[in-house]
Structures are given as C-alpha cells and as structure tokens.
A and B are shown apart, each in its own frame.
Chain A
C-alpha cells in the first residue's frame, strides 16, 4: 500500500467516524450493506475509467453506454425472449466492441480521447432514447430470470453480490495493472509515450487495450445497474456516472496527465464517494447539496495531494 492509498484509507476512516458520531445509524447493518451494494455497482466501471486515465486518456461515454446497452438488454429479455446467458453475452461483447471502437479512434485516427468519448456520450444517449421512443423500459412479464437476478442483485453469505463482484474484478485488475507486462506498459505509455515507443512497445495496442477493458467493465456494470433499478429510463439512466468514475479515479490517486494510479486507490476513491453520498442522506443535509459536498471534498483532496507532492519534491532536492 502506497502513501496515497494509506492517506485515503485514513480519510475514509475519519469521515466514517465523524458520521458515526453524528448519527450512529451509519454503522447499522442495513446502512453498511446498502453502501456495500452501491460501492460494488460504482466500483466496477470506475476501475475501467482508472485504466484509461492511467494511459493519459479519459472515457466520458460510460454513462451513455449504460443507457444504450441497458435498453437493448431489457428489450432482448422482455420482448424477444432471448435466453439470459445470450443477452448477458451480448451486453458484455457490446461493451467490449464499443471500447474497441473508442480505442481505434484514439490510436488509429489519432483523435483526442476527450473528443472521441464526448461524441460517444452524445451518440449512445441519443440512440438509447430513440430505441425506446424515449419511453422507460422494464422487464414486464419476462420469466426465467431468477438466477441472473440473484447474481446481479442478490446476496451471498449476507453480502451483496455486486460488492463481491467488485472484489473479484479488483483482484483480477490489480494483477493486470500491477503484476502483468500489460500493466507495466499502461504506466509506461502514460508516463512517456515516446519513450515507450523507443522501448519497442506497441503503444497503440496498449492504449486500445485500456479502452476495451473500460468498455467491457461498462458492459458488466450495465447488467448490475439494470437489476438495481429494474427498469431503464433512457434519458436519465447512468447519467453523470462517467463523472463519478472520473472522480473516484482522481480521488484514488490517478493523475489526468497519465502514468499514476492504483486499483486499491480507485476502489478506496469509490468507497469515499459513497460514504459522502451516504453522509448527506444520513445527516439530513438537503440532498440538493449532494454534488456540492462531493465537489468540495474532491477539491480539498486535490489541493492536499498537490501540497504533498510539492513537499516531496522539495525533500528530494534537499537531499540531492
């Protein structure tokens, strides 16, 4: 665990303690399980976002991908009687393909990631709304979904499945990012793309890989989110979620300049964001202030991080 992650963990504990002191219900089983569920839902796609940010890119399309894949997923199950494993596969592959498309546009057409995924954000949202004629779509009388429903929104050993899925995803992605050659390449590309090319790394493939992973995890998240809300309103479903993901990644130590970040940090960033949300609810702060609280804390975090980085640099110079 690096210094950043440790600092974040301390922050999580401190804010948790303060909230508990103000309202002991924060630590009630119901509240904790509810939070764990939300952490699972938001953590999975935040990890994908983090990978993209580590390469120096950004993925603004995540929220709209949820809407588009979400309406198609429900439509397949409710109106076309597609078997759920096939529908699940369709959504996962769809996410991967969208990610691959973004990767291709960024590395081959050399478009800026911001532009590519901003267009994605607009296009997928529009497509989702057109698909249902802007109507909310639900499962209706679809049958045979018990096992999928349980997988995506049930509990195992009393723990919400989305949280367990996040644990598995983060374990796998931690190996990918911190223990695999591909992960080292991701950091190398983010830190100095030119040097990465001089080292013989096919930087295009590496960057595209990050977008593909992000797209795939967005596909997985779509299924979890659909079963959390049980219906998809294409104009609102997943709206702003890309910003939650970016916030979690940045809070977790990813630098938007690329080359910095860790899976543990991103997960802790997600945890902190959910605690803040929860704090707003549980302390009776008007929920309209929700975003303002989140923004304020992220700003403070960024300032503290900057200050620490500056001190660390002074330390190096002093020693040299």
Chain B
C-alpha cells in the first residue's frame, strides 16, 4: 500500500507561533507536507494540532512565522483564500446540510443551472460521477441526514475534493466510524494518494495513524516534538513522545505509574448486560460494586459519554438490561425514572444540571423536596441542609442565597454534587466531573467523590481525559469505538498504558 509518490515539498511552514489572548498555543513549529503523502498528526488534547491545521486552512489569519505553498510564500486571510489555493478541511463537526440530498450537498454553491434554474438531472449525474470517481456508493437523491455518519463524512469529503483541493485536512475522521466505515475511508485515502493529493490525518487512534500514514509528527504543549516515517516507529514510540518524560503541566501528576485496587469483594450495585445504542456503542456489559469508583476512559467519540447518558435514561437503549441491587431498572421513563431506580447522573454540562438564577440552596434541595415536606415546602429545612453541604464541601462563597450562576465552574460542580449528597442514590454517574477546573477545585471534587464512595454507593466516572480517570478511579474500563476494550484492575496503570489500550 505504501507505494508513495511523495517527493517534492508541497507545503512548508516554519517558525509558526500563535497566541490566544496572550497564551501561547503554538511556538516555533516547523512542518512540511510533501506531494502525495498521508501525514499523520498525533498529540493530546490542546497540543496544538488543530490550531496548526486551522492556520493552514485559513481559519486563523493572525499568526507569526512563514508558510510556503509550492515554494512561494502565502498568507491566507480567510478560509476562502485557502480553498482557492487548493486546501480543504473536513472538520470533526460535519458541515453538510442534513435536509438536502447528497447531490445538493456535494455541489452546494456550484449547482449546474439551465437558464437560471437548477437542473436536477445534470446535478444528479454530476454528483454521481464525482462520487463514483472515489468509489463512494450512495444514492445522490438520498437526504444526507438519513445516511450513516461514515457516508455523511464521505459526502463532505467529496465536496471538498470537488472544490479542487490538493491538500485535504481530516480532523479526527475515524473517531465516530464503525470498522467497515474506517476501511472505506482508508481505501479512499489510498486512492487520493495515487492521484498525487496530500492528506493530513489528525487522530487519537494511533493504530489508525500508523496504518494509513507515510509520515507521522508528534505534538506536545504547542510544540512539534518529533517526526518520523510511519513504518519506522510503533505505538509505544508515539505515546512516549505524546506524554513526555517530565511532568510539564500543572496537575498532571499521574504520568507516573500507580497501582489500582484489587477487584472488590463487596456486592454488585449495578449490573448492565449487553447494552447497545446503534452507532454509539454495542454489546457493553459491566458491573459496579458497592463502595468503588469505576472509571471509564476512552477517546472522544468512543462511546463512554453516551454509555453514561444511556444508563441515566437520557438516551434510549436499543438492547440490554440494567439491574440495580438485583432489581431490573426501567430506564424508559428518562432521567426521572432512572433516579427512582437509584441511578443519579451529573452530566458534563453544568448548565444542563443547574438552575442558574435560583439560589444555591434551592439547587441543592430540588431533588429532596418531597422528602422534606410531602406537599408544602419547608424552606428553613432546605436552607439548613444546604448550609451543611456548603460548609462541608467548601463551596465558595459560603452563602446559600446567591444565584448559583454567579459561582465559578468548580463551585457549581460542587453544588451539583451536593444535590446527590442530600439523599444518596445507589449509583452515581459523573460525566467529565473535573473538566475545565483549576487544581484546587479538582482536589475538592476528588475528595467529595471519595466521600461518596466511602458511604457505600457505586460511583462511575466517565471521561476522555486520562488524568480525570486516573485521579478518581479504583478500577478502570477502557472503551474503544463503542466497545469495552480492556479492564484495569489490581494492576499498575499509567497514562501511557491507558492511551495504549484506547
């Protein structure tokens, strides 16, 4: 497969630096893309891969350094400039129009007309030719929204190609695809290489990157760490360079190894069997023990966030059964039904969880109003309970009457957790519980979660940040493309081992 025609440098960047509000996102980056090569970019979230690609695609116009295309210096002021120069980007969030047909999407803005009227017949024929040329088998009349995600992506790619792109940037193209869809994408990439086009392939899936790329480059903390020929290196080599030897970032205290607890002997509080939601995850079974924190880690789009939402009744399950304390949990009735079954959920979005204008105490007491007073409210009891939690959780500022929307993100998260401290569920699902928090607030959340665990409930933490799972979990499941790929229990674990399993 790797009979690359790669030779001439097509695009050269040197000394690229980019700041966002004074913070350095990229510094001193050199990058070369040759004609007819597939170039893999890897690095953790925030390493600077996407920023660099957005500079190339004209999305970020302000930057330091120099860019040369075909040896001539260029500077794109916007995405249109870049497109006219032959650079196209397929973003993670697709920009196809779901209601329009495949043909309309492929030819959007360039519909063939006949006396000012769109000629549907010619449009379908033209789209069909275009799709056939890349071996994409799809009915041009079908609405794009009705297609599986993989084909939608192909349609977007076809549009980029039709606009005359010689350089195609794919941001996380495989994270949401099923294995056959990934194969189809790779076949298409091979075809593009044969026609002399160049591709930049950004992905967390290191196996994919190694398989499809000619060249790989690793980014860390806004710098280019090292590049190599893909067939000369392996996954461990990549991970070593992605994670870095030293602890370079604050709060990244888990780069070293730690040992997980042995499998608990406590009873199982929640058993999930063969859960499926088509397109998101398939055939997932897991048990949560009383008094443990189970971490579920996976890259963005691997299905762990969706699994938590499904267990919380937020996403209808297609198949499978969930038992809480041996009793079948009916999740059809949505989150309120899940709560009655003993499963509580704190979603990744605090805005979705809290009533921003309402005072802190009402946000804490809302889940237990019926326990405090069956019919009538008892505001004094509400405040007393809330005050206790505000004190014990160290919520700042300490008053219970301030609207919760005025608190910092970390303190809002503590309020969300306090709601479930007021009456313990059997299982607490936490989605990205420490995202976007400073170190102090993260430590507080760790302390609160440990406290909940020690009270005997089962806690499940799902995250796409390895640090979050490592700092909280007693046992770890790693998800990959909608299935559980590995369990870590009673053994040493570290960030690079998690990354290698994902």
Is residue B345 contacting chain A, with contact meaning CB distance below 8 A?
yes
CA distance A192 to B336 in the complex (A): 15
Verify A200–B367 contact, CB threshold 8 A. yes
Is residue B373 contacting chain A, with contact meaning CB distance below 8 A?
yes
Given A199-B367, A200-B339, A316-B406, are A194 and B352 neighbors across the interface (CB < 8 Å)? Answer: yes
CA distance A199 to B368 in the complex (A): 9
Convert A177-205 into 0s and 1s, putting 1 for each residue whose CB lies closer than 8 angstroms to a CB of B: 00111111100100110111111111100
CA distance A184 to B379 in the complex (A): 11
Residues of A within 8 A of B334 (CB): 197
Residues of B within 8 A of A1 (CB): none
Is residue B424 contacting chain A, with contact meaning CB distance below 8 A?
no
Is residue A29 contacting chain B, with contact meaning CB distance below 8 A?
no
Is residue B14 contacting chain A, with contact meaning CB distance below 8 A?
no
Verify A180–B406 contact, CB threshold 8 A. no
Residues of B within 8 A of A199 (CB): 339, 366-367, 419
Given A180-B377, A181-B377, A188-B366, are A195 and B336 neighbors across the interface (CB < 8 Å)? Answer: no
Is residue B80 contacting chain A, with contact meaning CB distance below 8 A?
no
A-B contact count (CB 8 A): 63
Given A191-B357, A195-B352, A198-B352, are A181 and B369 neighbors across the interface (CB < 8 Å)? Answer: yes
Residues of A within 8 A of B339 (CB): 199-200
A199, chain B: closest CB distance, angstroms? 5
Verify A198–B369 contact, CB threshold 8 A. no
CA distance A305 to B357 in the complex (A): 17
Interface of B, helix, strand, loop or mixed by DSSP: mixed
Residues of A within 8 A of B344 (CB): 200
Residues of B within 8 A of A201 (CB): 336, 366
Given A198-B345, A202-B336, are A184 and B377 neighbors across the interface (CB < 8 Å)? Answer: yes
Residues B312-354 near A (CB distance < 8 A):
333-336, 339-340, 344-347, 352-354
Given A181-B370, A184-B362, A188-B366, are A197 and B375 neighbors across the interface (CB < 8 Å)? Answer: no
Is residue A318 contacting chain B, with contact meaning CB distance below 8 A?
no
Verify A320–B406 contact, CB threshold 8 A. yes
Residues of A within 8 A of B347 (CB): 198
CA distance A185 to B365 in the complex (A): 12
B193, chain A: closest CB distance, angstroms? 46
For residue B335, which residue of chain A has the nearest CB?
Answer: A197
For residue A205, which residue of chain B has the nearest CB?
Answer: B336
Residue in A180, A181, A195, A202 whose CB lies within 8 Å of B354: A195
CA distance A259 to B403 in the complex (A): 15
Residues of B within 8 A of A197 (CB): 334-336
Verify B335–A200 contact, CB threshold 8 A. yes
B383, chain A: closest CB distance, angstroms? 14
Most buried by B among A179, A200, A202: A200
B78, chain A: closest CB distance, angstroms? 33
For residue A192, which residue of chain B has the nearest CB?
Answer: B355
B58, chain A: closest CB distance, angstroms? 35
A263, chain B: closest CB distance, angstroms? 15
Verify A180–B357 contact, CB threshold 8 A. no
Verify B376–A181 contact, CB threshold 8 A. yes
CA distance A140 to B237 in the complex (A): 97
CA distance A197 to B339 in the complex (A): 9
Is residue B66 contacting chain A, with contact meaning CB distance below 8 A?
no
Given A198-B353, A200-B339, A320-B406, are A180 and B376 neighbors across the interface (CB < 8 Å)? Answer: yes
CA distance A182 to B340 in the complex (A): 18
B interface residues (Cβ-Cβ under 8 A, vs A): 333-336, 339-340, 344-347, 352-358, 362, 366-367, 369-370, 373-377, 406, 419
A interface residues (Cβ-Cβ under 8 A, vs B): 175, 179-185, 188, 191-192, 194-203, 259, 316, 320
What are 26 pairs between A and B in contact, CB < 8 Å? A175-B376, A181-B369, A181-B370, A181-B375, A181-B376, A181-B377, A183-B377, A184-B369, A188-B355, A188-B358, A191-B355, A192-B356, A195-B352, A195-B354, A196-B366, A198-B345, A198-B346, A198-B347, A200-B335, A200-B339, A200-B340, A200-B367, A201-B336, A201-B366, A259-B357, A316-B406
